């Protein structure tokens, strides 16, 4: 594994320009003061109730995601490159989805193999030929970005279903501004607070034609026991829309209504944070108590917009991921601005042979996995784990992809023994409405708090940082 790219320090002792002021400030600030603010931040998070649930963890059902008070900083120049790359990628994702559920040019051109689509459990035949309002499938995308050097941004993963984490981007900033007003005064940090407004206008812009002039938007949550419930209530509050559960909605004559104290009221756009499988028990899982019976027929009738659309999983699948550079090129005729991580598709015999020979150096992921579960990190695994994984891989090679173990970039982070570099990634949020694609400057920086660890997932001990884009 190569030496990680240090986002603050240039080898040889100099600082990268974006971090110079922070470094000066850190020198002036005693460690006790940092520790004190860290505790204060934790208290604030707990009081506001910014918690998440860890499934299968009975003893503490609500946990805080550790927050690191040292911001992660990027220059405006770096951001504008990233921004262009993100817009390009999300545009391609939307065109790909539209194509897969309609003409399927990309399959005919044999750029993506057919069986990868049609035998994929996240492909939704219900969406074949169905018109979605304004042809937008992925209204909200969370693209996970990593850096390995000063030049490139690399996409680790596209999240095109129900990406979460944006509440942390907003709350982290709120808390940082409360705790470190002096540090903000010494930087020109681009604000992120207009995200809720941008989201609401994007959602309104994609309302179906049958909606009234002032379309009604609601956020559909699985409920208080969902791990991201805080975020759902937070966003509904910031957007000023109703936070509904499946039982609050009914479908009559292919229109969706919510039950209110004044009778039923029509809903036009649902920002849904419920997975496809649970949306409508009449179409998908019959045992789902979270969904709304008949929702899919209202959808088919064009009376409701679901954001994101049903069936977007086919675009962020890890097997499809490896084709993204070709997908971008196919639809846009441009070279992809953001790179992909080199990926071996275990479904292809040549790739599988390579992966099996090099397991101890690779990261192997389940095609349908998420949250950092079910993956093998070769360099960190024991011999026994690797051998067990080898058997799994041989049994079901099409279920896995492999990538080199990347040295994620590092940022200075508070640890028990003072400031130290820790590996980070970044999830910016890309919004697509009927007319435009927007990204607020920033995102969620996740940090692996354990020394040497590359796993940034909050379910596995990762923390978060505020992400600063300097306005230059």
Residues 41-100 touching another protein, rule: CB under 8 A, are 46-49
* Least distance from another protein to the Cβ atom of residue 415, Å: 26
Mention every residue, 6+ apart, whose C-beta is less than 8 A from residue 316: 93, 157, 158, 159, 160, 161
DSSP string, 200-226: HHHHHHT--TTS-SS--EEEE---TTS
3 state SS of 348: coil
* Least distance from another protein to the Cβ atom of residue 40, Å: 16
Of 72 and 232, nearer to another protein (C-beta) is 232
Element of type H or E holding 95? helix 76-100
Does 236 participate in binding another protein (rule CB under 8 A)? Answer: yes
* Least distance from another protein to the Cβ atom of residue 240, Å: 9
Q: Which of residues 141, 176, 202, 244 is near another protein by CB under 8 A?
A: 244
Does 398 participate in binding another protein (rule CB under 8 A)? Answer: no
Does 224 participate in binding another protein (rule CB under 8 A)? Answer: yes
Of 62 and 348, nearer to another protein (C-beta) is 62
Of 146 and 244, nearer to another protein (C-beta) is 244
Contact at 8 Å (CB) between 125 and 113? Answer: no
Choose the binding region for another protein from 20-28, 236-244, 325-333, 366-374 (rule: CB under 8 A): 236-244
Q: Which of residues 156, 243, 310, 408 is near another protein by CB under 8 A?
A: 243
Q: Which of residues 6, 21, 40, 242 is near another protein by CB under 8 A?
A: 242
Of 217 and 327, nearer to another protein (C-beta) is 217
* Least distance from another protein to the Cβ atom of residue 224, Å: 5
Q: Of 274, 277, 273, 282, which Cα lies nearest the Cα of 300? A: 282
DSSP string, 287-344: T-SSS-TTHHHHHHTT--EEESPTTTHHHH-HHHHTTHHHHHHHHH-S--SSEEPP-E
Of 135 and 242, nearer to another protein (C-beta) is 242
Of 264 and 301, nearer to another protein (C-beta) is 264
* Least distance from another protein to the Cβ atom of residue 292, Å: 14
What is the rounded distance in angstroms from the CA atom of residue 114 to the CA atom of residue 124?
14
Q: In this structure, are strands 67-74 and 462-469 parallel, antiparallel, or unpaired?
A: parallel
* Least distance from another protein to the Cβ atom of residue 64, Å: 12
Q: Which of residues 223, 372, 404, 421 is near another protein by CB under 8 A?
A: 223
Of 261 and 417, nearer to another protein (C-beta) is 261
Does 20 participate in binding another protein (rule CB under 8 A)? Answer: no
* Least distance from another protein to the Cβ atom of residue 10, Å: 44
Q: Could you give the string, one character per residue 252-271, with x where binding to another protein holds by CB under 8 A and - elsewhere?
A: ------xxxxx---------
* Least distance from another protein to the Cβ atom of residue 222, Å: 12
Does 178 participate in binding another protein (rule CB under 8 A)? Answer: no
* Least distance from another protein to the Cβ atom of residue 49, Å: 5
Count interface residues toward another protein (CB under 8 A).
Answer: 22
Of 257 and 331, nearer to another protein (C-beta) is 257
* Least distance from another protein to the Cβ atom of residue 38, Å: 19
Choose the binding region for another protein from 86-94, 221-229, 279-287, 459-467 (rule: CB under 8 A): 221-229
Does 237 participate in binding another protein (rule CB under 8 A)? Answer: yes
CA distances from 121 to 5, 93, 117, 215 (A): 37, 18, 9, 33
3 state SS of 59: coil
Element of type H or E holding 448? strand 444-448
**Between 166-179 and 31-48, two packed helices, what is the crossing angle to 10 degrees?**
130
Residues 104-133 touching another protein, rule: CB under 8 A, are none
3 state SS of 144: strand
Q: In this structure, are strands 339-340 and 305-307 parallel, antiparallel, or unpaired?
A: unpaired
| Calculated CA dihedral for residues 180, 50, 467, 193, nearest 10 degrees | -80
Contact at 8 Å (CB) between 166 and 344? Answer: no
Contact at 8 Å (CB) between 266 and 255? Answer: yes
Does 350 participate in binding another protein (rule CB under 8 A)? Answer: no
DSSP code of residue 416: T
Element of type H or E holding 158? strand 154-159
Of 50 and 295, nearer to another protein (C-beta) is 50
Q: Of 416, 411, 425, which Cα lies nearest the Cα of 457? A: 425
* Least distance from another protein to the Cβ atom of residue 243, Å: 5
Of 46 and 84, nearer to another protein (C-beta) is 46
The β-bridge partners of 261 are 263
* Least distance from another protein to the Cβ atom of residue 164, Å: 17
Q: Which residues bind another protein (CB under 8 A)?
A: 46-49, 223-224, 229, 233-234, 236-237, 242-245, 247-248, 258-262
């Amino acid at each position: 594994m190569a030496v990680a790219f240090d986002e603050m320090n240039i080898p040889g002792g100099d600082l990268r320009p974006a971090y110079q002021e922070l470094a000066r400030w850190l020198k002036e600030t005693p460690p006790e003061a940092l520790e004190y603010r860290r505790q204060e931040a934790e208290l604030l998070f707990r009081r506001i109730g910014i918690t998440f649930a860890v499934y299968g963890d009975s003893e503490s059902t609500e946990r805080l995601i550790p927050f690191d008070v040292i911001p992660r900083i990027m220059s405006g120049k770096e951001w504008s490159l990233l921004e262009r790359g993100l817009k390009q990628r999300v545009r391609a994702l939307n065109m790909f989805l539209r194509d897969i559920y309609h003409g399927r040019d990309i399959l005919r051109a044999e750029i993506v193999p057919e069986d990868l689509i049609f035998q994929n459990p996240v492909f939704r035949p219900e969406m074949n030929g169905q018109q979605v309002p304004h042809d937008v499938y992925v209204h909200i995308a969370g693209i996970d970005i990593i850096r390995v050097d000063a030049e490139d941004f690399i996409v680790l993963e596209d999240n095109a279903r129900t990406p979460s984490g944006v509440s942390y981007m907003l709350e982290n900033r709120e808390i940082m501004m409360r705790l470190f007003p002096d540090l903000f005064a010494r930087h020109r940090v681009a604000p992120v607070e207009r995200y809720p407004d941008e989201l609401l206008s994007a959602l309104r812009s994609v309302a179906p034609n049958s909606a009234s002039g002032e379309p009604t938007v609601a956020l559909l949550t699985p409920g208080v026991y969902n791990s991201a419930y805080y975020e759902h209530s937070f966003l509904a509050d910031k957007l000023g829309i109703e936070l509904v559960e499946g039982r609050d909605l009914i479908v009559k004559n292919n229109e969706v209504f919510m039950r209110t104290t004044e009778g039923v009221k029509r809903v036009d756009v649902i920002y849904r944070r419920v997975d496809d499988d649970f949306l409508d028990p009449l179409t998908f899982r019959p045992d789902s108590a979270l969904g709304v019976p008949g929702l899919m027929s209202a959808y088919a009738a064009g009376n409701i917009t679901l954001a994101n659309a049903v069936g977007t999983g086919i675009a962020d699948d890890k097997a499809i991921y490896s084709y993204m550079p070709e997908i971008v090129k196919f639809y846009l005729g441009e070279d992809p601005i953001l790179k992909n991580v080199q990926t071996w598709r275990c479904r292809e015999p040549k790739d599988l042979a390579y992966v099996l020979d090099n397991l101890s150096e690779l990261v192997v992921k389940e095609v349908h996995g998420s949250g950092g579960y079910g993956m093998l990190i070769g360099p960190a695994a024991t011999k026994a784990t690797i051998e067990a994984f080898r058997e799994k891989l041989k049994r079901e090679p099409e279920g896995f992809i492999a990538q080199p173990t990347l040295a994620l970039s590092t940022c200075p982070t508070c640890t028990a023994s003072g400031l130290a570099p820790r590996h980070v990634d970044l999830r910016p949020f890309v919004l697509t409405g009927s007319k435009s694609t927007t990204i607020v400057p920033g995102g969620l920086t996740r940090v692996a708090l354990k020394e040497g660890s590359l796993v940034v997932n909050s379910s596995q001990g990762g923390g978060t940082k505020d992400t600063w884009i300097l306005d230059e």
